[in-house]
Amino acid sequence: MSVVSAAKKRSAVSRFNALIRRTGHGDVIFRALTILAGIAVLGTVLATGYSLWDTTPLPREKFGLGFLWSNDWDPVREEFGALPFIYGTLLTSVLALLMAVPVGVGIAIFLAELAPDWVRQPVGYLIELLAAVPSVIFGLWALYVLIPVLVKPTSEFLNTNLGFLPIFAGPIFGPSRLAASVVLSVMILPTISALCRDVFLAIPNAQREAALALGATKWEMISQVLVPYGMSGILGAIILGLGRALGETVAVTMVIGNNRDLTSSILHPGYTMASIIANEFAEATYELYVQSLVEIGLILFVITLILNSIARLLVWQVARRAPTEARA
């Protein structure tokens, strides 16, 4: 190797080392990539919202804000309103959470705190496996098993004994808001239970030992120490479950009955925003009809953002005070 070549090689190595030092040994590049990833997420959300807004000028001009509380949905007369679908989406999602959260948290506590190792692993695996089942499978299962075996007999019992309450008024058909809520609760159960189990397993053992050393029973340790300590994580799991419940389409469309009913009865067929889009988008034959369906998608998008923002605020508030309460 000549002297000139050796000098060029040393110069190249020196420039490379200087570049490494200037980039903080990769820290600058790593920071830039993470910032780009964050910007990409924010940009995706903004682009989605703008795209939905930009695609729906006709219903905004014709119906204005009245689209939100109008019960009309008549493609023949070109009259559209989203109220039955907003109502059905919120009602079924709330009912699903009411059913899934106690069961999911209970499963998580059992797996994390009470179950022996030979039970914990296989049961935890089966629960995680449920999250991977396609929603159309849940829909078929609900149609042929859940509705005839559980939902319809339960609806008849509730209507017979509590039918004087508007929420349990008849008639009963089988497919209903209750059926959709039960299916949604089953579908969000793996998400809530798996995440809550991980939250409980992440709590330091010092918290358990301190409670037991003070004479607390197992129940007192779980309810007064572990649950408050992990409350922010539990709420985060519930948020994810709510997100799936709001946007679930196929299984709900198959069992909810697809009826623009605005009564308070959970035993009546109903409709959700996702199911009306799935049912009628392919049949929309003129521009106002298509844009009205897209505007329902925009409303679902906004409701999801608002509910998740409120839930994140709640998580933030709980996370601020939970460690202090757990140590009290």
Query: Using one digit for the tens of pLDDT, what is the confidence trace for 168-209?
Result: 887 888 888 899 999 999 999 988 998 888 888 888 888 888
Q: What does the pLDDT read at residue 182?
A: 92
Lowest mean pLDDT among 4-13, 115-124, 163-172: 4-13
Burial class of residue 14, CB neighbours in 10 A (0-12, 13-18, 19+): exposed
Look at residue 103 and tell me whether its pLDDT is greater than 90: yes
Please give the DSSP secondary-structure letter assigned to residue 224.
I
Rounded to 5°, angle at Cα 32 from 26 and 35: 140
Look at residue 60 and tell me whether its pLDDT is greater than 80: yes
Of all residues in the chain, what percent carry a pLDDT higher than 90? Answer: 17
Q: What is the mean pLDDT of the chain?
A: 85
Lowest mean pLDDT among 70-74, 179-183, 284-288, 307-311: 307-311
Higher pLDDT, 194 or 319: 194
Confidence of residue 3 (pLDDT cuts 50, 70, 90): low
Tokens in use for 217? 């029973």
Confidence of residue 1 (pLDDT cuts 50, 70, 90): low
Mean pLDDT computed over 156-170: 87
Please give the DSSP secondary-structure letter assigned to residue 226.
I
Q: What does the pLDDT read at residue 126?
A: 85
Look at residue 19 and tell me whether its pLDDT is greater than 80: no
Rounded to 5°, angle at Cα 88 from 84 and 92: 175
Q: What does the pLDDT read at residue 66?
A: 87
pTM score, whole prediction: 0.82
Confidence of residue 102 (pLDDT cuts 50, 70, 90): very high
Q: Where are the alpha helices (DSSP H) in 203-226?
A: 205-213, 218-221
Q: Where are the alpha helices (DSSP H) in the chain?
A: 3-22, 27-54, 57-63, 66-69, 83-109, 117-130, 135-141, 152-162, 177-202, 205-213, 218-221, 227-229, 231-247, 250-255, 273-280, 287-327
Q: What does the pLDDT read at residue 327?
A: 42
Look at residue 278 and tell me whether its pLDDT is greater than 60: yes
Q: What does the pLDDT read at residue 326?
A: 45
Lowest mean pLDDT among 4-13, 43-52, 258-267, 303-312: 4-13
Q: What does the pLDDT read at residue 2?
A: 66
Q: What does the pLDDT read at residue 294?
A: 92
Q: What does the pLDDT read at residue 98?
A: 93
Please give the DSSP secondary-structure letter assigned to residue 181.
H
Rounded to 5°, angle at Cα 226 from 222 and 231: 125
Mean pLDDT computed over 29-49: 89
Q: What does the pLDDT read at residue 328?
A: 39
pLDDT tens sequence across 126-149: 888 888 888 889 889 988 998 889
Of all residues in the chain, what percent carry a pLDDT higher than 70? Answer: 94
Higher pLDDT, 150 or 2: 150
The 10 Å Cβ neighbour count of residue 91 is: 19
Tokens in use for 138? 């849940």
Strand, helix or coil for residue 259: coil
Look at residue 315 and tell me whether its pLDDT is greater than 90: no
CA distance 287 to 245: 29
CA distance 93 to 181: 7
pLDDT tens sequence across 228-267: 888 888 888 888 888 888 888 888 888 888 888 788 888 8
User: Which residues, 6+ apart, have CB-to-CB distance to 181 below 8 Å?
Assistant: 91, 92, 95, 96, 99, 266
